[in-house]
Amino acid sequence: MGRVVITNSIRFLLLIATQVFLLKNIGYYNLSIPYMYILFILILPFGIPNGLLFLFAFLTGLTIDVFYDTLGLNAAACTVMAFVRIVFISLTVQRDGFDNEPEPSLGIMGFRWFIFYAFILTFSHHFILFTFENFKFTEIGYTLIRVILSTLFTVFLILITEFAFFRKKVR
C-alpha cells in the first residue's frame, strides 16, 4: 500500500511539472493543446474508491488551474473525466475479465483497450474544458476542431509516455 502511494505521488508531481513547465506553451495555433497531466487520473488503480478518485481528479485539475489561471475549468473537466472513467471501467473491465489487474496501464490492459480508454476519457475532458472555456454556441465548429485535435495530440503524448514505461503483463 505504501509503495502505491509513493508511486502515485511521484507520478502526480512529474506530470504536473511536465504540464506546467514544458507543455504549457506548446500548442498549434491554439487548436491543438496537450494536456498530458490527465494521465495521472487515467492510470490510477482500479481499486481506488470513487470518492477518493473524485477528490484526486478535482485536486489535480485545481492544481493546473492555479498555474493556468483558468478559474476551475480544469477542475470541472477532471471531475467529469473521473465520472466517465468510473462508467467506462464498470462497463468494460468486468465484462472483459480484468478484475484482478492493479491499474489501467498499456502494459497490463493491452493496446486496443487502453487506446479506446484514453480516447474516451481524453475526449470527455477536452470537450468539457473547451466548451466551458469558449461557451459560445456560434463557435461550436471551432470548439469541436480544438477538442478533436487536442485529443489526438494528448493521446499521442500519453501513448509515447506509456510505451516509454511499458511493462508486459505478469500472469
Domain residue extents for the chain: 2-164
Say which residue, 167 or 95, is predicted with more confidence: 167
What mean pLDDT value characterizes the chain? 86
Condensed to tens digits (0 to 9), the pLDDT of residues 124-145 reads 999 999 999 888 888 889 999 9
The model's pTM is 0.88
pLDDT of residue 62 exceeding 80, the answer is yes
Q: For residue 168, what pLDDT band results from cuts at 50, 70 and 90? A: low
Q: For residue 109, what pLDDT band results from cuts at 50, 70 and 90? A: confident
Condensed to tens digits (0 to 9), the pLDDT of residues 30-61 reads 788 899 999 999 989 888 899 999 999 999 99
pLDDT of residue 2 exceeding 50, the answer is yes
Write the CA distances from 151 to 7, 10, 33, 69, 78, integer angstroms.
26, 24, 8, 21, 14
pLDDT of residue 171 exceeding 50, the answer is no
Is the CB of residue 150 less than 8 Å from the CB of residue 34? yes
Q: At what angle do helices 73-96 and 111-134 cross, to 10 degrees?
A: 150
Instruction: Measure CA of the first residue to CA of the last residue in the chain; give whole Å.
Output: 20
Condensed to tens digits (0 to 9), the pLDDT of residues 79-108 reads 999 999 999 988 887 644 555 557 787 877
